[in-house]
Structure 1
Amino acid sequence: MKMSQARLASCIPVPMDQKALVGVIEKAKDWALMHGVGMRDKKHFTKDSIQIAPFVLLPSPFPRTEFTKAVELQQVLNELMHKVAHDEEFLETTLQNALQVDEFTASLYDIWVTVRKEGIVQPISLGMLRSDIMLESRCPHTENQCAKHTPYCSWKQVEINSIASGFGHLGPISREIQSYVLRQLGHGDLIKNMPENKALSGLCGGITEAYDLFGVPGAVILFVVEEVSYNICDQRFHEFQISETRPEIVIYRRTLNEIYEESALNDKKQLILEGKPVAVVYYRSGYEPAQYPSSREWDARLRVERSTAIKCPSIQYQLAGTKKVQQALAAPGVLEKFMGGGASTGRVRDIFTGLYSLDFDDGGERAVEMALADAERFVLKPQREGGGNNLYGADVREALLRMRHSRERAAYILMERILPPLVSGYVVRPGGPVPPPLCDLVSELGIFGVIIGTKEKILCNRQVGHMLRTKLADANEGGVAAGLGALDSPYLLDL
């Protein structure tokens, strides 16, 4: 039986008048370029220019009650991730099958084992997390049976990102560009329904708080970056924010290869760069295999982990962010192990969609059979962050048939696909048609959290902002940096 997909109304009537639409898009594009709503062009890369980042012209509707629930739950999720990251036995047990077939995760795990054997010299970790969620809008009736069904049920978690959790700048600035558009269209009164977003200052506050905990005068902050940074605005605005609020702090940007060549550990195990100790290492790279093309990058990562620098994330935090851990947390009794049996445990369990192991056991075999019988219901996910890695629909079936009798399948998890409500809207893209066509869109909300602490004690735990990514309803992946999604912000509805 085909499920009916709900629809939410746009904040203003669409389609818009063509002349007004063209005029406001021209203004919005210039506003975007002049306020850092930009990325570097992948096809014609140059450091001397940026182009607009894809953005949705009007903010997308999101139920106020569900947004509030997500914001309120973030601190609980922060603490859960912190506890998971510091539970050596749980990580080892959960990842053991994936480690046999996933070389990348195994390499991260080997670094973790090495620093534990040597003795961890920096017990403090900085977690800058982003919990990505989607509204689940499945209606139990077919379209013929149900002309007016509930427009949503509740939100479900897609994943938690523990490394390079981007859009601290692009999240808040999306609200500003859409506020500008609404004012230009004569709907400035609607801006009150767009929640305030202080993600940039909140995330940067986490970095500077960790810097202060390091407590060495003259220490520096190190951003670990890719060889080529396309998402340059989002990264640089973090640096600009810190430089503005804490002008005495020097920030360096280095690739893993440059860290290998230019850094060293001194006799105090401090990471020394240009003669100065590094207080905080903030990763905007290092989350996928292509970012470790040789042993030099892995050696650099190990050197950082061996040091006294406070890492964002520490290696165990990155391991805690794997999909295998996400799947394991959904198993009966596991949340209770970390959280006890209170109301918060139930609230977290409610956000899990179906998550299934593909290990070689009875449960794994059942999951394979289930996915082969109805591949459209599922997403196949490897242990990766950064977008563009998941398999959908027919590709799920093809991959499982190929891997069915191979240990490779243990490197993946199976997740029930979330069916979010549709919204009609306009996506403005660099080089795209003007005016753009009116399209059906779906959105994914990310809630940012900052947590700082040791295994024994949490020193800081906050929810600090949000971001919204929106994509065409028929697109599988939604990463903006990957060129598939568009920047957006929530317009809260009282349903």
Structure 2
Amino acid sequence: MENQKILPAAIDLPLNPKVLEEVISKAKDWALMHGVCMRSKTNFNMDSLQFAPFVLTPSLYPRKEFEKAVNLQTILNELIHNVAHDTEFLRETLAGTIQVDEFTSNLFKIYETVLAEGITQILTLGLLRSDYFNTTNNNILQVEFNTIASSFGGISSKFQLFHSYILSELGHYDKIKNLPENNALSGLCDAMVEAWNIIGNTKAAILFIIEDVTYNICDQRFHEFHIRENYPHVKVIRKTLTDVFNTGVLGSNKELIVDGIVISVVYFRAGYEPGHYHSQNEWSARLMIERSSAIKCPSIHYHLAGTKKVQQALAKPGILKRFLTDEDEITRVKEIFTGLYSLDKEEGGDKVVEMVLKNPEGYVMKPQREGGGNNIYGSDIPEKLTTMSEEERSAYIVMDRIFPPISRSYMIRPGAQGAPSIVDMVSELGIFGAIIGTKEKILYNRQVGHMLRTKGSSANEGGVAAGMGALDSPYLFD
């Protein structure tokens, strides 16, 4: 394991116990009163919320690397847009995976179906997020690229204000200038409305595809409420895939009609994992949406472009030239790639297995899944690898494990008893992007905001919605 550097805290810690108790009480109330909240998974109640886990003081992040990630986002948007529209590349890259991964195979069947029929809506909307770990050498490396349900744009937009309040309460008003502005919520919503405008049907609605039970309710509703507040003429409705199957039809011009309402834009906040498809009905609903004239976020080809197998394939020598023409941009993208390896036998998978088994702590195994809690780390890898067939390995990739520098602060979780201790943590930066276009032409391409998720340094997974991370803000330093 790499020797992890320890970063200083944004302010002097520990805090005086009385000051700590008082500021935590204020912080919890601020979070509850500003919607930094989620529904409890352990004591679920439709009528109640609890604050989302948060880090009390912002975590240090190198300004140069933060700005690098921000400036890269429109290039990465274009990269993924071009990947999603390269049918041959998606077929070649996912050929082995769809033989052994039923979920990815089902997605691919929908893709092949709409290709064979002719894609009705050639415009696509991508609301994307590229995630990074900073290294001990202050050099960002990409963890993954999210093309579906890229969450926490809503709540994360509150965190610059949240930590500004906390720093002020602790007598550090002068440090607020190091918290970067974050307009992720408005940026993501503006892109949805831009897609709605392009369709041009003023009576049509934006459809949010949601889970049967939504725990991360504030993050989702903030998008809906922002659109309603700033674009009151644009209607937003929320439906599950089951609802779409039961009440959805295609009109005579393949317009999507759900519960009697014409839909011009579909925003998926569900549909990224097998548990969202209870039966063939939900898969039929997904196919109906893909066949429609609505702009999809993501379209089925954008969804496939976000798989880990595609991420691994893009890191192969020379591949980026297929999708980007500017040599400087290609170089900049290459710099954020860490080691990514195929487990397919015909791509040298046996040698990769041998390499990983010699030092499992240095790697992560990743399946083609989103939503957190799916990866395999360290000492768990050998058992997984040695009990899989050569074919089953194709459902996974291997990535070099990144060991970020450690920061220290108080992590505040709902229901925790007693005064919190200072904990060692690591942070993952996410940069949001929005892109609209066809295969031939990009109409809209922007970087729209950021998020910071922080977890205990000994934790493997860091998803906030999955219950293992906490929301945070980057405190920029030179």
TM range, smaller chain: over 0.9
- Matched position secondary structure for 2:96: helix
Offset of 1:124 from its aligned partner? Answer: 0.3
Kindly provide the CA deviation profile for residues 222-261 of structure 1, in whole angstroms up to 9, marking residues without a partner as x. Answer: 0000000000000000000000011111111000000000
Partner residue of 1:427 out of 405, 411, 414: 411
Matches within 5 A, 1:351-430: 351-361=336-346, 363-403=348-388, 405-430=389-414
Q: Is the 8 A contact 2:202 2:234 kept in 1?
A: no
- Matched position secondary structure for 1:287: coil
Q: Identify the residue that residue 54 of structure 2 maps to in structure 1.
A: 55
2:475 is the alignment partner of 1:476 = no
Offset of 1:434 from its aligned partner? Answer: 3.7
Q: Higher mean Cα deviation, 356-365 or 383-392?
A: 356-365
Offset of 1:209 from its aligned partner? Answer: 0.2
Kindly provide the CA deviation profile for residues 50-78 of structure 1, in whole angstroms up to 9, marking residues without a partner as x. Answer: 00100000000000000000000000000
2:441 is the alignment partner of 1:442 = no
Q: Identify the residue that residue 454 of structure 1 maps to in structure 2.
A: 438
Q: Is the 8 A contact 1:121 1:307 kept in 2?
A: yes
Q: Is the 8 A contact 2:424 2:457 kept in 1?
A: yes
Q: Higher mean Cα deviation, 172-181 or 116-125?
A: 172-181
Q: Is the 8 A contact 1:279 1:309 kept in 2?
A: yes
Query: Within 1, Cα distance between the matches of 2:69 and 2:390?
Result: 38
Q: Higher mean Cα deviation, 62-71 or 341-350?
A: 341-350
Q: Is the 8 A contact 2:2 2:403 kept in 1?
A: no
- Matched position secondary structure for 1:339: coil
Distance 1:362 1:218, change over 3 A: closer
Kindly provide the CA deviation profile for residues 139-187 of structure 1, in whole angstroms up to 9, marking residues without a partner as x. Answer: xxxxxxxxxxxxx230000000000000111111122211111111111
Partner residue of 1:205 out of 183, 187, 190: 190
Q: Higher mean Cα deviation, 173-182 or 476-485?
A: 173-182
Q: Is the 8 A contact 1:226 1:291 kept in 2?
A: yes
Q: Which amino acid aligns with 2:446?
A: R
In the alignment, structure 1 segments of 5+ residues that lack a partner are 138-151
Partner residue of 1:255 out of 225, 228, 240: 240
Q: Which amino acid aligns with 2:260?
A: G
Partner residue of 2:293 out of 308, 314, 317: 308
- Matched position secondary structure for 2:475: strand
Query: Within 1, Cα distance between the matches of 2:334 and 2:16?
Result: 45
Q: Which amino acid aligns with 1:357?
A: S
Query: Within 1, Cα distance between the matches of 2:35 and 2:68?
Result: 30
Q: Identify the residue that residue 46 of structure 1 maps to in structure 2.
A: 45
Partner residue of 2:316 out of 317, 331, 334: 331
Query: Within 1, Cα distance between the matches of 2:467 and 2:2?
Result: 29
Q: Identify the residue that residue 166 of structure 1 maps to in structure 2.
A: 151
Q: Identify the residue that residue 136 of structure 1 maps to in structure 2.
A: 135
Offset of 1:362 from its aligned partner? Answer: 5.5
Kindly provide the CA deviation profile for residues 101-158 of structure 1, in whole angstroms up to 9, marking residues without a partner as x. Answer: 0000010000010011111110000000000000112xxxxxxxxxxxxxx2300000
Q: Which amino acid aligns with 1:9?
A: P
Query: Within 1, Cα distance between the matches of 2:294 and 2:218?
Result: 25
Q: Higher mean Cα deviation, 57-66 or 7-16?
A: 7-16
Give the share of equivalent positions with the same residue, in percent: 57
Q: Is the 8 A contact 2:205 2:236 kept in 1?
A: yes
Q: Higher mean Cα deviation, 357-366 or 380-389?
A: 357-366
Offset of 1:85 from its aligned partner? Answer: 0.1
Q: Identify the residue that residue 32 of structure 2 maps to in structure 1.
A: 33
Query: Within 1, Cα distance between the matches of 2:418 and 2:35?
Result: 21
Kindly provide the CA deviation profile for residues 425-469 of structure 1, in whole angstroms up to 9, marking residues without a partner as x. Answer: 100100113421110000000000000000010000000000000
When normalised by structure 2's length, the TM-score is: 0.99
Offset of 1:39 from its aligned partner? Answer: 0.3
- Matched position secondary structure for 1:280: strand
- Matched position secondary structure for 1:461: strand
Q: Higher mean Cα deviation, 87-96 or 181-190?
A: 181-190
Q: Is the 8 A contact 1:55 1:174 kept in 2?
A: no
- Matched position secondary structure for 2:350: helix
Query: Within 1, Cα distance between the matches of 2:391 and 2:459?
Result: 30
Partner residue of 1:219 out of 186, 204, 212: 204
Q: Which amino acid aligns with 1:331?
A: K
Q: Is the 8 A contact 1:135 1:421 kept in 2?
A: yes
Offset of 1:341 from its aligned partner? Answer: 5.5
- Matched position secondary structure for 1:351: coil
- Matched position secondary structure for 2:196: helix
- Matched position secondary structure for 1:5: coil
Query: Within 2, Cα distance between the matches of 1:355 and 1:399?
Result: 18
Query: Within 1, Cα distance between the matches of 2:331 and 2:6?
Result: 28
In the alignment, structure 2 segments of 5+ residues that lack a partner are none
Q: Identify the residue that residue 22 of structure 2 maps to in structure 1.
A: 23
Kindly provide the CA deviation profile for residues 193-227 of structure 1, in whole angstroms up to 9, marking residues without a partner as x. Answer: 00000000000001000000111120011000000
Q: Is the 8 A contact 2:265 2:296 kept in 1?
A: yes
Q: Identify the residue that residue 187 of structure 1 maps to in structure 2.
A: 172
Offset of 1:361 from its aligned partner? Answer: 2.4
Q: Which amino acid aligns with 2:228?
A: S
Q: Is the 8 A contact 1:98 1:410 kept in 2?
A: yes
Partner residue of 2:283 out of 292, 298, 302: 298
Offset of 1:15 from its aligned partner? Answer: 1.2
Query: What is the total number of aligned residue pairs between the two structures?
Result: 478
Q: Identify the residue that residue 65 of structure 1 maps to in structure 2.
A: 64
- Matched position secondary structure for 2:157: helix
Q: Which amino acid aligns with 2:273?
A: E
Query: Within 2, Cα distance between the matches of 1:362 and 1:127?
Result: 30
Q: Higher mean Cα deviation, 102-111 or 174-183?
A: 174-183
Q: Identify the residue that residue 488 of structure 1 maps to in structure 2.
A: 472
Q: Identify the residue that residue 105 of structure 1 maps to in structure 2.
A: 104
Offset of 1:3 from its aligned partner? Answer: 3.1
Q: Is the 8 A contact 1:39 1:232 kept in 2?
A: yes
Q: Is the 8 A contact 1:22 1:434 kept in 2?
A: no
Q: Identify the residue that residue 340 of structure 1 maps to in structure 2.
A: 325
Q: Identify the residue that residue 139 of structure 2 maps to in structure 1.
A: 154
Q: Identify the residue that residue 148 of structure 1 maps to in structure 2.
A: none
Query: Within 2, Cα distance between the matches of 1:228 and 1:200?
Result: 22
Partner residue of 1:237 out of 214, 222, 229: 222
Offset of 1:7 from its aligned partner? Answer: 1.2
Q: Identify the residue that residue 144 of structure 1 maps to in structure 2.
A: none
Partner residue of 1:321 out of 306, 310, 330: 306
Q: Is the 8 A contact 2:254 2:293 kept in 1?
A: yes
Offset of 1:406 from its aligned partner? Answer: 3.5
When normalised by structure 1's length, the TM-score is: 0.96
- Matched position secondary structure for 1:237: helix
